[in-house]
Structure 1
Amino acid sequence: MKSIKKLNIMIAVLGVLVSCTENFDELNTNPRDITEEELEVDFQHIGSLYKPIFENIYKYDPASSYQLQQNLNADVYSGYMTPPRPFIAGANNTTYNLVGGWNNTIWSVPYSNVMNNVETIEELAKDEYPTFYAVSLILKVAAMHRVSDIFGPIVYTNFGDLEKAGVYDSQEEAYHAFFADLDTGVANLMEDLDSSRFTAFDLSYGGDYSQWVKLANSLRLRLAIRISKIDPATAKAEGEKALNHPLGVIETNGDGFFVNSAVSHPLQTIDNSWGDIRMNAFMESVLSGFNDPRAGAYFLEVNPGDSDTEPIVPGALKGVRGGMPLLSGYADELDQKGDYIRFAVINDNIHQTSVQLMTAAEVYFLKAEAALRGWSGAGDARANYEMGITTSFEQRGIGGVSTYMADNVSTPADYKDPVNPSNNIAATSDITIAWNDADNNETKLEKIITQKWIAVFPDGQEAWSEFRRTGYPRIFPVVSNQSAGTVDTEIQIRRIPFVDNERSTNPEGVKDAVTKLGGPDNGGTRLWWDTGGPNF
């Protein structure tokens, strides 16, 4: 009997073990884990890839990444900002002694976080969820045209191709690919415009696909204007496609392209916490000369209650000349920081978590130029110019726009440095504000671009690109040019050389890219669309 009982017990145990083995996956799965099937129910397997794309068109966190990706190049070259101290004893990007270790970030951030994720979205959604794919294409163009506008040729159409992954497109080829991707994006969205699938993942428009179509059209118009001097036929065709689309372009401040991230804007850290950026002297020249009411919305005196950072000239917004070397009389750069740190700081209103990438004001100025160029659907140049200014004032909550637009006397002001008079410089333009139909197109263009430059602050990348394309506004040259002759001081820097990481990992690709660049791989070589200005 005992042996039979033991046998029965062993059989029972074996039965339990078999049962456990059969249900092993179920019993040993953490109930808090999410399966692939569960992810697919609410599109998380695709949607989770978008947040890194939104937040890395330029990188918000950590602030040091944004500082290297945009702030210590485009934000400075645009005439918006400049460091109040000379990093690396003044031999750095701001003085055209380009720092390879800094500039790697400009390339690596969008490739790692935008292009990689867009490629994965394409694999998951291109056929089955075409509207998800559409948004990824629009975001890709928004990010990567900025990269091309810094370097020229980029890896775009061949990205992810195992055989041709390191092959660069010329900038002309890249721009045509941008337009093609926008075509696909708009067509896909128009097929399912009322879908709400993207709502949970949208950091800009709450899942409203009609707004994404307006953004795509507006980006198309931006890129069309960018190539209007080098390829006027393509520019006109693409611009008119955007202007005459049934859903149109961005028209109100509510339509603007902003990324609503939980991460604080990196300028808040770079400016307020680190004291590494201040108002540029050229910005002072324009805003003070025009008596521009937006000046106080953009910049403030440093906190006068802090004895270490008392305003250098109380009651005035003072800017710092760009490209200053380490001045004589200072033991090191930290000593010099004591004077220029007291110049104007960026207003906290700019340091919002909603990061600006394209505004309604910019689009009106694009339309104003399109009207000058005779593109259908652009409307009237003057009406668009004045709407651009008006919309910019409204965006910043500023009054007095009618008085401002009627001013046909005020011009940019001479600049005086209260620390070192050798940095003084006369105003570089006598352009005024009020529109005058009798002006020639070149004068009208200078007014349009100058006001666009004011309106798109703090996006130094777009401002620098338009300066290179048109020559406007007439930004002050650097104080010290340490480029060893590769960059002309008056013409100013035109691009960033291909980065060290690419040179070491993709040498043949870079070699081919230089041939497509059409000039030496340095900061003085013009990009494809950069034909030299002023020249309407």
Structure 2
Amino acid sequence: MTINKIKRTALCLSLLTAFSCTDNFEDINTNPEGATIEQLDQDYNSIKSLFKPAFNHLFISETTWQYQIQQSLQADGWSGYMTTPVPFGPQNNHDYVLNGGWNSYAWDDAYVNIISYLYKAEQRSKDKFDQFYAWSLILKVATMQRITDMYGPAVYSKFGKGVATYDSQKEIYTQMFKDLDFAVTELTKRNAAGEKTAFDETDLSLYEGKYANWTKYANSLRLRMAMRISKVDPALAKVEAEKAVSHSLGVFTATADGLKIKSPTDLNVIDVMSHSWVGLFMGADMESILGGYQDPRISKYWNTSKVTPGEYKGVRTGIIYPSGSTYSKFSQTGPRTKTGEITWMSTAEVYFLRAEGALRGWNMGGTAQSLYEAGIKSSFEQNGAEGATAYIADNTKLPKDYVDPLNPANNAQAISKITVAWGTDKEKNLEKIITQKWIATYPDGQEAWSEFRRTGYPKLFRISNNQSNGLISTELGVRRLAFSDSEVANNKEGIASGVAALGGLDNGATRLWWDTSAPNF
């Protein structure tokens, strides 16, 4: 299997040109029958079409190669979820020789295909149709939370203002919290007034445009962001987390509250890569952790292998792959990714966020243990798995050693020594929370990779074929993506401001603002 070639026709390659790419939206969206923007405003038609790209590109739902370039070849492997065991050549993220062509795509795609459209939605709706402005802010924050957690500094506050200098990650998080303040206040007010949603025909999620659901998502997103900065700014993190949970509509609590969309093609790009391309397989960490716990969700996430029939067999990331077909009989993806349903955020994740908050002494509306166990139950329910009660109580099973049936040199002893059952040690309980959140958040490798960088959990196997010549530590792994090649080529001023805000070299070893080496407590 080889990567499909990227074909970009008239693609805007820098943020400055991305701004100009939106200049002709007035022409593009003009009704050929002669209707003006003012006439189209009557049914919000000048705004509605601008939201579709966000749904299709925030989590790539249609085009497989785009997902592969944007996430599969980065975070999905670094998180331990799954890997593409192909010897791609001298520049390979698996081996920590980071491929700028691959790693630029998430940045370019976000700005050209999401942020530019949401910016135009803001121009057409702010102070006029503020329900749409609020919605655009929620989608903007959801997009930029992922982008800043990949790259660090980025263009946020100055987007569309003719200035392409970057905000620091601290500034981005501060502004994202403020944007959510407006969005939550606006939608809460309209929901309380019983206003009929204006989003129903535009919303491509399963929420059907309901203001209450989008408000809960915004609150849950705030909680995720608060936890992300808990080590670098614990005071602000506590304020924002408690604000999310104490809001009148609150955060996700029922499993059905989670935000999902349906792929327009009813296919899942992960399933296509794993089965049609025969190029994406279970990670060794998944086998070790789920297999060791005899976790019932393993049969929902994965199929048994052909190399050891009847058993689940994962592939280690960052080893020497002799050929693209060497590991082609290992476990491929299972029922979870067989449908076109894509989870943006789950209720289980929210319970685990609250559990960690409670562990840190924040008011999360429950004890750390009760919220932790609620998160496991919600994940079991979401995946149609049985046996949650016995699983939660198990205090004996541990992650298991990994055995590569093709090459014993890749064998590895399990690193984690925790059981599932709640304990008494604070640090170990944090490891339990993050490990279970890692299981529940599958297949979103981006969130899993971010939490691994923040906490060091779950404890993952290290790569054995580090080709970075000492640039990236085998122990610490990749900490971020370098800025986009298109920015380096076309936005010198922006890159200079980004590197200054980063406070380190523009490479994969430099830590982000929230990625501090300080202890978890």
- Give your verdict on TM over 0.5: yes
Flag structure 2 segments of 5+ consecutive residues without an equivalent: 1-29
Matched, 1:527 2:512: yes
Aligned-partner residue type, residue 51 of structure 1: K
Q: Which amino acid aligns with 2:263?
A: S
Distance in 1 between the 2:360 and 2:326 partners? 46
Aligned to 2:215: 213
More divergent stretch after superposition (101-110 vs 223-232): 101-110
Q: Which amino acid aligns with 2:220?
A: S
Q: What amino acid is the match of 2:352?
A: F
Gaps of 5+ in 1: 1-28, 303-310, 328-335
**Aligned counterpart, 2:344:** 357
Other-structure match for 1:270: 273
Per the alignment, residue 243 of structure 1 pairs with 245
Pick the aligned partner of 2:234 from 232, 235, 260: 232
Aligned position for 2:80: 79
**Cα deviation, residue 269, structure 1:** 1.7
Tell whether the 8 Å contact from 2:62 to 2:264 is kept in structure 1 after alignment: no
Q: Is the 8 A contact 1:431 1:447 kept in 2?
A: yes
Indicate whether 1:320 and 2:315 are aligned: yes
3-state DSSP of counterpart to 2:249: coil
Question: Is the CA contact (8 Å cut-off) linking 2:108 and 2:484 kept in structure 1?
Answer: no
Structure 1 residues 323 and 385: CA distance shift in structure 2, 3 A: same
Shift of 1:276: 1.7
Counterpart for residue 64 of structure 1: 65
Deviation at 1:326, TM superposition (A): 4.1
Q: Does 1:104 align with 2:99?
A: no
- Listed as ranges, the matches of 1:171-186 within 5 Å are 171-186=169-184
Is 2:204 the partner of 1:203? yes
- State the shift of 1:32 in Å: 7.2
* Secondary structure of 2:343 counterpart: strand
Q: Distance in 1 between matches of 2:509 and 2:436?
A: 26
Q: What is the CA distance between 1:348 and its match in structure 2?
A: 3.6
Match of 2:190 among 192, 196, 206: 192
Q: Does the C-alpha gap of structure 1 residues 223 and 287 become closer, same or farther in structure 2, counting only changes over 3 Å?
A: same
Instruction: Give, as a single letter, the amino acid of the residue that structure 2 aligns with 1:392.
Output: S
CA contact (8 A) 1:228 1:236 kept: yes
Could you tell me how far apart the structure 2 residues matched to 1:465 and 1:472 are? 10
| Residues 469 and 533, structure 1, Cα contact 8 Å, conserved in 2 | no
Report the Cα distance in structure 2 between the residues aligned to 1:30 and 1:103, rounded to whole angstroms.
38
How far apart are the structure 2 equivalents of 1:30 and 1:288? 57
Residue identity opposite 2:170 in structure 1: E
1:100-499 superposed matches below 5 A? 100-162=100-162, 165-193=163-191, 194-204=195-205, 205-263=207-265, 264-302=267-305, 311-327=306-322, 336-436=323-423, 439-499=424-484
Match of 1:504 among 483, 489, 495: 489
Q: Which secondary structure does the structure 2 equivalent of 1:356 belong to?
A: strand
The 1:474–1:230 alpha-carbon spacing in structure 2 relative to 1, beyond 3 Å, is same
- CA gap 1:410/1:507 in 2 versus in 1, 3 angstroms: same
CA-CA distance at 1:484 after TM superposition: 2.1
2:208 is aligned with what amino acid? G
Q: Is contact 1:50-1:201 (8 Å) kept?
A: yes
SS in 2 for 1:339: coil
Give the letter aligned to residue 296 of structure 1. S
* 1:51 and 2:72 aligned: no
| Distance in 2 separating the partners of 1:266 and 1:128 | 38
Distance 1:129 1:285, change over 3 A: same
- The answer for the alignment partner of 1:16 in structure 2 is none
Give the superposition deviation at 1:435: 0.8
The residue type paired with residue 215 of structure 2 is V
Structure 1 pair 73–477 and aligned structure 2 pair: CA distance change class (3 A) = same
In 1: Cα distance, 2:38 partner to 2:228 partner = 45
How is 1:15-34 mapped onto 2 (pairs within 5 angstroms)?
A: none
Q: Distance in 2 between matches of 1:415 and 1:532?
A: 28
Partners of 1:471 and 1:532 within 8 A in 2: no
TM-score normalized by the length of structure 1: 0.88
C-alpha distance 482-31 of structure 1, shift in aligned 2 (>3 A)? closer
The list of structure 1 runs, each at least 4 consecutive aligned residues, that deviate by more than 3 angstroms after superposition, is 29-39
Change (3 A) 1:131 1:413: same
Distance 1:312 1:209, change over 3 A: same
1:221-274 residue CA offsets vs partner (Å, 9 max, x unmatched):
000011011001100111111011011001112110112231322112211111
Q: Which moved more, 1:190-199 or 1:463-472?
A: 190-199
Kept in 2: contact 1:58–1:109 (CA 8 A): no
2:62 touches 2:263 (CA, 8 Å); kept in 1? Answer: no
TM-score norm. by structure 2 comes to 0.91
Using the TM superposition, give the Cα deviation of residue 33 of structure 1 relative to its aligned residue in structure 2, in angstroms. Answer: 7.8
Q: Would the aligned equivalents of 1:368 and 1:378 in 2 still touch at CA under 8 Å?
A: no
Contact map agreement 2:85 2:317 (CA 8 A) in 1: no
What is residue 13 of structure 1 aligned with on the other side? none
Amino acid at match of 2:468: S
* Cα deviation digits, residues 328-373 of structure 1 (max 9, x gap): xxxxxxxx23330100001143232221110000000000001011
Instruction: Check 1:85–1:42 CA distance in 2 against 1; reply closer, same or farther (3 A cut).
Output: same
| Pairwise CA RMSD | 1.7
Cα distance change, pair 30–493 in 1 and its aligned pair in 2 (3 A) = closer
Q: Contact 1:258/1:358 (CA < 8 Å) preserved in 2? A: yes
Q: Which amino acid aligns with 2:127?
A: D
Q: Which amino acid is 2:168 matched to?
A: S
- Asked whether the equivalents of residues 189 and 213 of structure 1 are also in contact (C-alpha less than 8 Å), the reply is yes
Contact 1:319/1:344 (8 A) holds in 2: yes
Q: How far did 1:534 drift?
A: 5.7
Report the equivalent of 1:4.
none
How far apart, CA to CA, are the structure 2 residues paired with 1:266 and 1:38?
39
Q: Is the 8 A contact 2:231 2:518 kept in 1?
A: no
Distance 1:39 1:271 in 2: 44
Q: Give the superposition deviation at 1:532.
A: 2.8
Counterpart residue type for residue 129 of structure 1: F
The secondary structure found in structure 1 opposite 2:59 is: coil
Give the deviation of 1:453 after TM superposition: 0.2
Distance 1:518 1:39, change over 3 A: same
For residues 401 and 458 of structure 1, what CA distance do their matches in structure 2 show? 20
Instruction: Give the superposition deviation at 1:519.
Output: 1.4
Shift in CA distance, 30/355, structure 1 to aligned 2, threshold 3 Å: closer
Partners of 2:309 and 2:321 lie apart in 1 by 25
Q: What secondary structure, in the 3-state scheme, does the structure 1 residue paired with 2:354 have? A: helix
Offset at residue 59 of structure 1 (A): 2.4
**Which residue in the other structure is 2:27 paired with?**
none
For this pair of structures, how many residues does the alignment match? Answer: 487
d(CA) in 1 for partners of 2:337, 2:321: 29
| CA deviation string 1:169-228 (max 9, x = no partner) | 111000001101100111111221233211110112101101111011100100001101
1:283 aligned partner, one-letter code: M
C-alpha distance in structure 2 between counterparts of 1:403 and 1:533, whole Å: 35
C-alpha deviation, 1:533, in angstroms: 6.6
**Higher alpha-carbon Rg:** 1
Query: C-alpha separation between the residues in 1 aligned to 2:500 and 2:280?
Result: 36
- For the residues of structure 2 that align with 1:487 and 1:31, how far apart are their CA atoms? 55
Q: How much has 1:324 moved relative to structure 2?
A: 2.1
